[in-house]
Chain A
Amino acid sequence: MTWYFARRLAFAAFLVIAVSSASLVLARLAPGDFVTESAGTEISRQTLEQQRARYGLNKSLGEQYRDWLAAAARLDFGYSMQYGRPVRDLVPERAANTAILALAALVFATLIGLPLGIISGSRKSGVLPGMIRATSVVLLSMPPLLTSLFLLFIAARTGWLPIGGMHSAIVPPGGALADLLRHLVVPAAAVGLPLAAMLERLQSQAMSEVIGEPFVLATLSRGVPRSRIVWRGAFKAALRPVAAVYGLVIGTLLSGSFAVEVITTWPGLGNLMLQALRSRDVYLVAGCAGAGALFLACGTLLSDLALAVVDPRASETRAERA
């Protein structure tokens, strides 16, 4: 188990380094650099070169990458040219905002998806299960980008919800927390609705399998109410496959909310990365990409660990199995 964990950890570290390195190199290789536009075209070549030297953009790609890698080993990920601040400080601030959004979406998806999955999985026919299944299929086929646009449209037409952002310019009556919660509705629903649909489908399938198990039939024949069996015994038994993918869901949630962040102007990692890419802020691009990869790696790691706990065969090496 320890060896298994170490292997997965090493892979996670490799993933983060590879993704951030590739991002830095690609951003650096793209035509133009941070200075090209920030300085405009009406300043002398001399001033342009001075600016380039100031940001270290006059170095060769190899030299720049080597210096960045050496600094990264000391957990110094460089300086953002755009913000004039260390990447190490900027990324966690925005990552926290992304985590808030992802957590809200996860809670929302869990609270909606699992109960609906139990309802649709425990009944083979009926209007309600049919409606739940149909809605899930629609939501699953709609990318979060479209969902967020649709929700923004509703917010704009009704004026009931803030259109994007994380906080109001002026804190309204009710306090900052209520303000944050209202701002969370649109992006969290945009990220969470497709996820809720996925959880509903998973839970529904697991539930329909469990409901036909002999132990459920035996309990029913003893006169235990069906609702108690469904919501207590069968639910617990059907939760295992859902729990196994939960870690992976967390990883994809954090990196997958980037598009929604951009649409809803949520000040998270996705928005930061877009700004960094637009301005060719190479170190910040690498930092954001690395953070995204870290989220994914942590999610995968959690998923693997959960799977290893549920099914010990998953952590065995081929040699051990042989």
Chain B
Amino acid sequence: MFAKNKNLHANPKLGRSTAHAFDRAVSWPLGQIVTRQTRRLAASVAFVVAGVLAGAGCRSNTPPKSATAAASKSGVPRGGDLIASVRSEPRSFNRHAASDSTTELISNLTQGKLVHVNQATQAVEPSLAESWTSEDAGRRVTMHLRRDVVFSDGHPFTADDVLFSFEVANDEKTQSILADAVRTGGKPLQVAATDPHTVVITSAAPFAPGVRVLEILPILPRHRLEAAFKAGTFAKAWGLDTPMSDIVGLGPFVLSQYAAGQRVVLTRNPKYFAKAPDGGALPYLDRLTIEILPDQSAELLRLQSGQLDMMTSEISPESYASLKRSADGGKITLLDLGVSRNAEGLFFNLKPGAFGADPRAPWLQRDELRQAINMAVDRKVFVDTVFFGAGVPVYGPETPANKVWYWEGLPHTPYDPAAARQLLASIGLTSGADGVLKDARNQPARFTLVTQKGRPSMERSVAVIRDELKKIGLTVDVVALDSRAVIQAFLTAKYDAIYFNADKTDLDPGTNQDFWFSSGLAHMWNLEEKTPATDWERRIDELMTKQIASPDLAERRQLYNEVQKIFYDHQPMIYFAAPRIFVAHATRVTNLTPAEYRPQLLWRPDTVAVIR
């Protein structure tokens, strides 16, 4: 099933980005007038401030001259410093102990993996495993490891480190966050070493996504962490107070400094195993600084003023206009990376008996209600209001960003409020003289829609949904809560409806079993069902079981299309639109391979370079 692949870089388009610059015309006359006026005022005040600075005023981030300053044979500049930003502090330097995005980013920068998923092409590429073969319908995979690879402290990397990494993930005492991610069919993968450079990974059941799941597992140094593992203190190992020199890895960078609340500084790992296409050493950068900036406004200000080179997340739709002006002025480069793979969705609480004696119970969990909502929201209005036009309508669980699994044949629901009213009438919700829908008790048909506070696009989305549903007589009470409270609400099944995101970490549906299977923890509308609550969920379980086991891609696609059709018919999660992803970076950053998934510009950190 897994073809041998010896190319480290499947997409070596050096010196240019694979995304295209976005050049949509934007007119902001008011903003320009304000800018002109305030510029004069700012100049006056700044003159006074300049006096205080007494000549010290200058850009603070002038990079020092590097000893390795040079250009590679392929023309990619070597050396230099890059400053990126994250929104939150890392919670640990141990990927097994924390799942936040900053911990994950730092792990990706400092640790090696057996395989690498190319976020631009979605192909699985070799990394520490230089090739692999599979047998027994994909149950057994033999991986051949690179030779002459050493950790950043010079200790040789062998199959023993791979075994240790799996032991850590699978050991209950470790309480690893990654334990569930490296299981197939609910059982841990079995790993054995046949020689110091060969490992055999056996899955309990056929698993079509194959070795892609290994992308999540960092390969850790046994010689450094075994003592903590044996002592049962692994979960606390490599915490934020660990001396940087104690943390070693196989990644392109090593940790150099952590200033709590400020930044994490990484320097190039001179022993990094991967090589550039011209045979030169990677990474190109000498130093990578990750600034911790809690909100996007701070990130944008620094990016526009040249104090930051890139962010590690996409820019919000409302920030686009100001960045476009900076891009037009040549200060930054703005990229349109296409449609997001993820769309936020609305789901009702479909747990049987969740509403008990609530008189709304007869209609709140009906398919017709969700189908009516699907028809009653004008997706064009949704895209224009929520994403300021920079988005596409979405009708099912996959967006057009998923080139392999998006199904063109899925019906596109037309905007039809009249048909929506008819559907609602069929479940006993009829319109009164005031246009408000009422149930059998003559009470207004209303429900509470919970969403995440502090996410402007989500808050705009629920406002559109509320206004659109008001047109057909449904009353929606919007409640914005912080993300923990939203998660708590659906974990405890105490809600009417939620508008939230269920991000996919990988595009292969076989890796999103928790969402699809009725027993899954991310089966949003009814978590962890003991047995499927409905016939259509039972059918999806059956189809997904076959889909995950099938080695034939065409068959897998056909099965998944059927799953998408059932999903569409019952609308357990209603999708309206997906945004386009925009990112921005300083013009001095080069040799990027942008992808729409986070960190869009830094998922391949070893090949990023800066012009100095």
Does A90 lie at the interface of the complex (its beta carbon under 8 Å from any beta carbon of B)?
yes
CB-based contact B42/A265 at 8 Å:
no
Does B573 lie at the interface of the complex (its beta carbon under 8 Å from any beta carbon of A)?
no
Asked, given contacts A38-B91, A90-B260, A169-B291, whether A43 binds B61 with beta carbons under 8 Å apart, the answer is no
- Give the docked Cα–Cα distance between A153 and B37 (Å): 13
Does A142 lie at the interface of the complex (its beta carbon under 8 Å from any beta carbon of B)?
no
CB-based contact B487/A36 at 8 Å:
yes
- Stretch in B81-89, B431-439, B536-544, B583-591 touching the partner: B81-89
Of all chain A residues, the one with the shortest Cβ separation from B175 is A50
Does B262 lie at the interface of the complex (its beta carbon under 8 Å from any beta carbon of A)?
yes
**Which chain A residues lie closer than 8 Å to B175 at the CB level?**
47, 50-51, 54
Does B98 lie at the interface of the complex (its beta carbon under 8 Å from any beta carbon of A)?
yes
Does B306 lie at the interface of the complex (its beta carbon under 8 Å from any beta carbon of A)?
yes
- Give the docked Cα–Cα distance between A135 and B56 (Å): 27
Query: What is the total number of residues of chain B having a CB less than 8 Å from a CB of chain A?
Result: 72
CB-based contact B298/A42 at 8 Å:
no
Asked, given contacts A163-B305, A168-B61, A274-B294, whether A31 binds B485 with beta carbons under 8 Å apart, the answer is yes
**Which chain B residues lie closer than 8 Å to A38 at the CB level?**
91, 98-100
User: Which of A45, A54, A169 contacts B235 (CB under 8 A)?
Assistant: A54
Contact digits for B275-300, partner A, Cβ 8 Å, 1 yes 0 no: 00000000000000101111000100
CB-based contact A181/B56 at 8 Å:
yes
Contact digits for A136-180, partner B, Cβ 8 Å, 1 yes 0 no: 000000000000000011111111111111111110111000110
User: Which of A83, A94, A160, A169 contacts B49 (CB under 8 A)?
Assistant: A160
CB-based contact B61/A169 at 8 Å:
yes
**Which chain A residues lie closer than 8 Å to B291 at the CB level?**
165, 169
CB-based contact B59/A37 at 8 Å:
no
**Which chain A residues lie closer than 8 Å to B485 at the CB level?**
30-32
CB-based contact B57/A267 at 8 Å:
no
Contact digits for B160-201, partner A, Cβ 8 Å, 1 yes 0 no: 000000000000100111011100000000000000000000
Asked, given contacts A42-B514, A185-B53, whether A158 binds B177 with beta carbons under 8 Å apart, the answer is no
- Stretch in B120-128, B205-213, B236-244, B340-348 touching the partner: B236-244
Q: Which of B33-66 contact A (CB under 8 A)?
A: 38-39, 42-43, 45-46, 49-50, 52-53, 56-64
CB-based contact A31/B484 at 8 Å:
yes
User: Which of A31, A156, A185, A271 contacts B481 (CB under 8 A)?
Assistant: A31
- Shortest Cβ distance from residue A85 to the other chain B in the assembled complex, whole angstroms: 5
Q: How many A-B residue pairs have CB under 8 A?
A: 180
Does A280 lie at the interface of the complex (its beta carbon under 8 Å from any beta carbon of B)?
yes
CB-based contact B484/A161 at 8 Å:
no
Contact digits for A214-240, partner B, Cβ 8 Å, 1 yes 0 no: 000000000000000000000000000
User: Which of B63, B64, B239, B260 contacts A93 (CB under 8 A)?
Assistant: B260
**Which chain A residues lie closer than 8 Å to B39 at the CB level?**
157
User: Which of B56, B89, B181 contacts A178 (CB under 8 A)?
Assistant: B56
Of all chain B residues, the one with the shortest Cβ separation from A43 is B180
- Give the docked Cα–Cα distance between A167 and B262 (Å): 8
**Which chain B residues lie closer than 8 Å to A50 at the CB level?**
172, 175
Does A275 lie at the interface of the complex (its beta carbon under 8 Å from any beta carbon of B)?
yes
Of all chain B residues, the one with the shortest Cβ separation from A158 is B46
CB-based contact A43/B177 at 8 Å:
yes
**Which chain A residues lie closer than 8 Å to B294 at the CB level?**
262, 265, 271, 274-275
Does A125 lie at the interface of the complex (its beta carbon under 8 Å from any beta carbon of B)?
no
Of all chain B residues, the one with the shortest Cβ separation from A262 is B294
CB-based contact B521/A44 at 8 Å:
yes
Does A82 lie at the interface of the complex (its beta carbon under 8 Å from any beta carbon of B)?
yes
Does B263 lie at the interface of the complex (its beta carbon under 8 Å from any beta carbon of A)?
yes
- Give the docked Cα–Cα distance between A280 and B304 (Å): 32
Does A207 lie at the interface of the complex (its beta carbon under 8 Å from any beta carbon of B)?
no
Asked, given contacts A44-B180, A163-B298, whether A84 binds B60 with beta carbons under 8 Å apart, the answer is no
CB-based contact A162/B307 at 8 Å:
yes
- Shortest Cβ distance from residue B209 to the other chain A in the assembled complex, whole angstroms: 15
Of all chain A residues, the one with the shortest Cβ separation from B287 is A170
- Give the docked Cα–Cα distance between A279 and B60 (Å): 31
Q: Which of B478-525 contact A (CB under 8 A)?
A: 481-485, 487-489, 491, 514, 521-522
Does B418 lie at the interface of the complex (its beta carbon under 8 Å from any beta carbon of A)?
no
- Give the docked Cα–Cα distance between A161 and B488 (Å): 43
**Which chain A residues lie closer than 8 Å to B172 at the CB level?**
50
**Which chain A residues lie closer than 8 Å to B64 at the CB level?**
170
**Which chain B residues lie closer than 8 Å to A179 at the CB level?**
60
Of all chain A residues, the one with the shortest Cβ separation from B302 is A163
CB-based contact B305/A155 at 8 Å:
yes
CB-based contact A40/B61 at 8 Å:
no
Asked, given contacts A163-B298, A265-B298, whether A170 binds B63 with beta carbons under 8 Å apart, the answer is yes
Q: By CB atoms of chain B within 10 A, which of A165, A167, A169 has the most?
A: A169
CB-based contact A172/B240 at 8 Å:
no
- Shortest Cβ distance from residue B39 to the other chain A in the assembled complex, whole angstroms: 7
- Shortest Cβ distance from residue A204 to the other chain B in the assembled complex, whole angstroms: 22
**Which chain B residues lie closer than 8 Å to A45 at the CB level?**
521, 528
- Give the docked Cα–Cα distance between A42 and B307 (Å): 36
Does B553 lie at the interface of the complex (its beta carbon under 8 Å from any beta carbon of A)?
no
CB-based contact B60/A32 at 8 Å:
no
**Which chain B residues lie closer than 8 Å to A165 at the CB level?**
262, 291
**Which chain B residues lie closer than 8 Å to A156 at the CB level?**
301, 304-305
Does B259 lie at the interface of the complex (its beta carbon under 8 Å from any beta carbon of A)?
yes
Asked, given contacts A82-B91, A84-B239, A169-B61, whether A160 binds B83 with beta carbons under 8 Å apart, the answer is no
Does B593 lie at the interface of the complex (its beta carbon under 8 Å from any beta carbon of A)?
no
CB-based contact B241/A85 at 8 Å:
yes
- Shortest Cβ distance from residue A46 to the other chain B in the assembled complex, whole angstroms: 9
Does B371 lie at the interface of the complex (its beta carbon under 8 Å from any beta carbon of A)?
no
Does B261 lie at the interface of the complex (its beta carbon under 8 Å from any beta carbon of A)?
yes
**Which chain B residues lie closer than 8 Å to A182 at the CB level?**
53, 56-57, 60
User: Which of B45, B60, B262 contacts A267 (CB under 8 A)?
Assistant: B262
- Shortest Cβ distance from residue A33 to the other chain B in the assembled complex, whole angstroms: 7
CB-based contact A161/B241 at 8 Å:
no
Does A39 lie at the interface of the complex (its beta carbon under 8 Å from any beta carbon of B)?
yes
Does A41 lie at the interface of the complex (its beta carbon under 8 Å from any beta carbon of B)?
yes
CB-based contact A265/B293 at 8 Å:
yes
Does A211 lie at the interface of the complex (its beta carbon under 8 Å from any beta carbon of B)?
no
- Shortest Cβ distance from residue B524 to the other chain A in the assembled complex, whole angstroms: 8
Asked, given contacts A50-B175, A154-B45, whether A267 binds B92 with beta carbons under 8 Å apart, the answer is no
- Give the docked Cα–Cα distance between A40 and B179 (Å): 13
Contact digits for B242-270, partner A, Cβ 8 Å, 1 yes 0 no: 00000000000000000111110100000
Q: Which of A251-284 contact B (CB under 8 A)?
A: 262, 265, 267, 271-272, 274-275, 278-280
Asked, given contacts A36-B487, A94-B261, whether A161 binds B240 with beta carbons under 8 Å apart, the answer is no
Please list 16 pairs of residues, one from A and one from B, whose beta carbons are closer than 8 Å in the complex, sorted by A's number: A32-B483, A37-B487, A43-B180, A85-B239, A85-B241, A156-B301, A159-B59, A165-B291, A172-B58, A172-B61, A181-B56, A182-B60, A185-B53, A265-B292, A278-B88, A280-B484
Binding site for B on A (CB under 8 A): 30-33, 36-45, 47, 50-51, 54, 82-85, 90, 93-94, 152-170, 172-174, 178-179, 181-182, 185, 189, 262, 265, 267, 271-272, 274-275, 278-280
Query: Top 3 A-B pairs ranked by shortest CB distance?
Result: A32-B484, A267-B261, A84-B239
Q: A36-B484, A90-B260, A182-B56 are in contact. List 12 more A-B contacts (CB 8 A).
A: A31-B481, A38-B100, A42-B521, A43-B180, A43-B521, A50-B175, A84-B91, A156-B304, A156-B305, A170-B60, A170-B62, A172-B61
